[in-house]
Amino acid sequence: MDSIRICGEVPLYGRLKVQGSKNAALPILAATVLIPGVSILHNCPRIEDVHLMCKLLVSVGCCVKWEGNTLIVDASEITEAGGQRPLEKGAGQPGREACRMPAEYVEKMRSSVIFMGAMLGRTGEISLKYPGGCVIGKRPIDLHLMAMEQLGVETAQTEEGVTARVKRLRGGHIRFPIRSVGATENSILAAACAEGTTILEHTALEPEIHALCEFLRSAGAEITGEETGRIRIDGREKLHGCEYSIPTDRIVTGTYLLACMAAGGEILLEGACRKEQQALLGVLERMGAEAEARPEGILCHRNRLLLSPGEVVTEVYPGYPTDLQSPMLAVMAIARGSSGMTETIFENRFRVAEELNRMGAGICVEGRRAYVPGSAALHGEVVRARELRGGAALVVAGLAAQGETIVSGRQFIDRGYEDIVRDLRALGADISYEWEEDNSKGDGQSSV
Ligand code: UD1
């Protein structure tokens, strides 16, 4: 299994163009299924989760081609997964076997569930194993299914998975009890080509929802209100091919801002959007760091000692993102004074604390809150990534640690970071990939 080797205490300097957003690209790739034509996606990150999504697209008959970071998807014809049977609207007839998505990809990636809305919109049927269990929490799909049912879909669940069928999707009125990113995306996808109008209330406000709506609008969909939490979708009979540029990844941006906090120095992250980083930048200011919005991105520097930010609570957007909770733990560990981190989105997202503690962080987890004593002198260690953002947190900790840190489980980091070593090296970090014997099998399955 590949590892990442970091020699810490080297400050970061320079500028870097941040990759395209994973969480925007994945639902947009699912959306291409709705379009009987060619979609051209620029700035698409070449990461493992996107490659898995491409495999799912190919499995239902799409042609997928990369040109640099541009991904071209031709979904002119959709066929039964792995087979020749063409599928078109109205395929969702009772009594016949629904189009089954290949389990080997579905199980590996939670986001495969957003294929449901798109496949129902295009063909009226889908059969899907439950997306794999995940080390960060239970990740149920009840809200996705509730929303599909409100749009006229019949769902049948077994222990292994779910089959969904509909003759013709029809608009509906859905109010979500909690704001769910994935369930909002799935509902938008299903409603885009439904008959009539759909109103979605209490929807997720994450920027990736806006990106999905922008993409669908450029393909001819009628969608308004996504930035208000109340979305109106007037279903269209058919969408058309389009060209779209995936926005910058705000979580990768945040990870690199935190990397600069851990290592010190001054970096300019090109393409970074200040508005999307509001919550993180607020915390960094409390820690004594400085960040400045420039026309080309965000300039950030940390030359002094970091102070504790006090309490940080993960929340839905625009609150502090759960995906930046783990890398922040690494930075809290070296700040002067104690801090607290409360995780409100996923119930099991502190597993990285164990590994950070092996580096000297001294974190104490009680239920949904982690207490970080601060002022730690982190030291290099051999540690293991078990999931995507926890893995990134170990790299961030390695940048602050004295001596050499080896992070195994690189494959988890590759799911969301195009090339974390390339990027941090470009900023001057002493970091490289290493090959080691495959003696530690990962136990995580799905990324977020
Ligand atoms: C997405 C992001 C992930 C991020 C998360 C929260 C992608 C690919 N992933 O994940 O990086 O950490 O948003 O910002 O975009 N829930 C239910 N029932 C459901 C669906 C969700 O109870 O049917 C719960 C979840 O268990 C969780 C909460 O709702 O506690 C939020 O989850 P959700 O917003 O759906 O996250 P994802 O879309 O899975």
Q: What is the pLDDT of residues 99-141, one digit of tens each?
A: 777 888 887 888 889 999 999 999 999 988 887 645 555 578 9
* Ligand 1 centre distance from Cα of residue 27 (Å): 13
Q: Which atom belonging to ligand 1 lies closest to the Cα atom of 138?
A: 26
Least confident of 249-258, 298-307, 354-363: 298-307
Give the 3-state secondary structure of 402-435.
Answer: ECEEEEECHHHHCCCCCCHHHHHHHCCCEEEEEE
Ligand 1 atom 37 nearest Cα = 182
Q: Which of the following is catalytic: 44, 54, 134, 260?
A: 134
Q: What is the pLDDT of residue 442?
A: 45
- CATH assignment, 3-19+249-434: 3.65.10.10
Confidence label for 81 from pLDDT (cuts 50, 70 and 90)? low
Q: Is the pLDDT confidence value at 150 over 70?
A: yes
Q: Is the pLDDT confidence value at 446 over 70?
A: no
Using a 6 Å CB cutoff, which residues line ligand 1?
A: 23, 26, 110-111, 137-144, 178, 180-183, 204, 208, 322-323, 345-346, 448
**Sign of the C-alpha dihedral, residues 170, 173, 177, 179?**
positive
Q: Which fold has domain 22-245?
A: UDP-n-acetylglucosamine1-carboxyvinyl-transferase; Chain (3.65.10)
Confidence label for 6 from pLDDT (cuts 50, 70 and 90)? very high
Mutation test of ligand 1: which of 50, 155, 181 has the most ligand atoms closer than 8 Å to its C-beta?
A: 181
Q: Is the pLDDT confidence value at 440 over 90?
A: no
134 is catalytic: yes
Ligand 1 atom 29 nearest Cα = 180
Longest dimension (CA), the chain: 68
Q: What is the pLDDT of residue 445?
A: 44
Give the C-alpha separation, 410 to 209, whole Å: 28
Ligand 1 atom 35 nearest Cα = 180
Task: Say if CB 416 and CB 47 are below 8 A apart.
Answer: yes
Residues 6 or more apart in contact with residue 102 via CB below 8 angstroms: 55, 56, 59, 81, 82
Q: What is the pLDDT of residue 96?
A: 55
Residue ranges per structural domain of the chain? 3-19+249-434, 22-245
Give per-residue pLDDT as tens, 351-397. 999 999 999 999 999 999 999 999 999 999 999 999 999 999 999 99
Q: Is the pLDDT confidence value at 196 over 80?
A: yes
Give per-residue pLDDT as tens, 168-178. 999 999 999 99
Task: Say if CB 289 and CB 302 are below 8 A apart.
Answer: yes
Residues 6 or more apart in contact with residue 291 via CB below 8 angstroms: 257, 274, 277, 281, 284, 285, 298, 299, 300, 301
